[in-house]
Amino acid sequence: MLTVVGGERRMTKADHIALTEVPYGSELYAQCLRLREAILRKPLGLTLSPDELADDVSRRHFCAVMNGSVVGAVSFKLLGPHTLQLKQMAVANGQQGEGIGSRLLSFVEAWARRHSYGMIILNARLSAEEFYKQRGYDAEGKPFDENTIPHIRMTKRTLRGKRMSLEVGDKAPSFSLPADGGGKVSLKHLKGKKVVLYFYPKDDTSGCTAQACSFRDSLPDFSKVKASVIGISRDSIESHDKFKKKFRLTFPLASDESGKVCEAYGTWVEKSMYGKKYMGIERSTFLIDDKGIIRGIWRKVKVPGHAEEVLKAAEALK
């Protein structure tokens, strides 16, 4: 990183670091652990938990090295075919404000783009929210406590302009989600049946209610062609229960509160309203055959006539 002082360019410490991926269990990994504990845990009177250490096995780890010592560390977890969760960003005491965190973050984002991961999510401490906002991350929802420290969920798209979408003929991503009434919905348990999987933004809103009632009214016809209908949103089970009871819906509503299934199907997208950009569910439907292959995709769905169109496609499947 170069700064400008009195019209002259001055090198900062970030120019003298090496950025690298860290093999799990290596000496560099051990240094990353010590840095994470010193910066993220000890100030709170905590230590690295056994669960956190066990989770490290499935993470990818990156670090910034200067003069043979780790001065910055970060890791991420793969959440799906398109999404990474950034975790444990730490910069050594005395090195903060030198651009090391920015370079490390850029390095990880470049790795994500090379490997076609289009979305990064993270739980940022509120004190770091501005740092991430300046680097293109958007805050979502309300702050929450994690280890007694206020955090906020943040997201960033790394593949702007490129849709992270499935195509007709692809294998449908597997999932298992809690559903209304305390049940569960699992794609593998529906193998041998056709499945109409529709994603909608929010329970008990005008468009989503009209769509749900349309599928409800068409359900006897879907049953004739051995097709199950499943609705998915990021609403809670309690919200689904109320929505289903209010409108007497006769098919399961699955709760994807973490957003992992929405990500896997490419329905969690950037939207815009009154000039403000935000992340939300794109109204989408997927027709999956009895072998688990996607045979039809509808995006940016317009509700009138949609259930009938999907039914015709389901009837045409052999």
pLDDT 10s digits, 231-240: 999 999 999 9
Per DSSP, which regions of 133-193 are E strands? 138-146, 149-157, 176-178, 184-186
Higher pLDDT, 12 or 147: 147
The yes-or-no verdict on residue 7 having pLDDT over 50 is no
Question: What pLDDT is stored for residue 164 in this prediction?
Answer: 52
Report yes or no: 179 and 240 within 8 Å, Cβ to Cβ.
yes
**Looking at 93-107, 202-216, 242-256, which range is the least confident one?**
93-107
Question: What pLDDT is stored for residue 165 in this prediction?
Answer: 63
Domains parsed from the chain with CATH numbers: 2-157 (3.40.630.30), 176-316 (3.40.30.10)
What single-letter DSSP state applies at residue 171? B
What gap in Å lies between CA 97 and CA 72, rounded to an integer? 12
pLDDT band at 302 (very low <50, low <70, confident <90, very high): very high
The yes-or-no verdict on residue 130 having pLDDT over 90 is yes
Q: State the catalytic residues.
A: 208
Q: Per DSSP, what are the bridge partners of residue 146?
A: 149
The yes-or-no verdict on residue 12 having pLDDT over 70 is no
Other beta carbons within 10 angstroms of residue 58's beta carbon come to 10
258-268 pLDDT tens trace: 888 988 888 88
Each residue of 115-149: b (16+ CB within 10 Å) or e?
eebbbbbbebbeebbeebeeeebebeeeeeeeeee
What gap in Å lies between CA 176 and CA 261, rounded to an integer? 9
Question: What pLDDT is stored for residue 126 in this prediction?
Answer: 93
What gap in Å lies between CA 276 and CA 278, rounded to an integer? 7
Each residue of 23-51: b (16+ CB within 10 Å) or e?
eeeeebbebbbebbeebbbeeeeeebeee
Taking alpha carbons only, the member of 45, 28, 295 closest to residue 167 is 295
User: What is the chain's mean pLDDT, rounded?
Assistant: 87
Question: What pLDDT is stored for residue 16 in this prediction?
Answer: 67
Over residues 3-28, the mean pLDDT reads: 65
pLDDT band at 278 (very low <50, low <70, confident <90, very high): confident
Each residue of 65-78: b (16+ CB within 10 Å) or e?
bbeeebbbbbbbbe
Question: What pLDDT is stored for residue 201 in this prediction?
Answer: 95
What gap in Å lies between CA 181 and CA 179, rounded to an integer? 6
